[in-house]
Amino acid sequence: MAKLALYKGKGKIGNALIRAWTRSEYSHCELVVGGICYSSSLMDGGVRCKYITLGPDHWDIIELTPKYDRAILTYYEKTRQYKYSWLDLIRSQMFNLAMDEEGAAFCSEWCAAAIGLPEPATFSPKTLAEFVKFLTNSIPQKS
């Protein structure tokens, strides 16, 4: 079953800036299918999949319904060459301009698009978490 993983660890300066700007404890998000994490990551240069230890000190987890597993994997195959998009992040999160840079995405934009949400560039890790909690009527679980 797919999960949304939300990073609340200290991280680096970029993590601190995102948390401050979005007024959130979360600075990054991943979608997890079969124990593998999928997202767009600045540290990894863009869209990628990899194993990440999702310890409860650094991550909150929200379970999604199994219907998202295939959608996430299909979207990953379609976008695996996308680079990380600072431009989208700045335009959508700082200036409220939901414009997509072709061939690029930031983490919550990629995750929102992978599960089929409209206007994915409008989501921050915080708003994505809130929306998914609303949809699943769920409280984050410690991993």
Residues in the chain: 143
Per-residue pLDDT reduced to its tens digit, 6-46: 999 888 887 888 888 888 999 999 999 999 999 999 889 99
Is-contact 122 98, C-beta < 8 A? yes
How far is residue 21's CA from residue 83's CA, in Å, rounded to a whole number?
A: 22
Contacts of 62 by beta carbon, 8 Å cutoff, 6+ apart: 3, 4, 6, 129, 132, 133, 136, 138, 140, 141
How far is residue 90's CA from residue 101's CA, in Å, rounded to a whole number?
A: 11
Task: Answer yes or no: pTM beyond 0.75.
Answer: yes
Per-residue pLDDT reduced to its tens digit, 97-128: 666 667 888 999 999 999 999 999 889 999 99
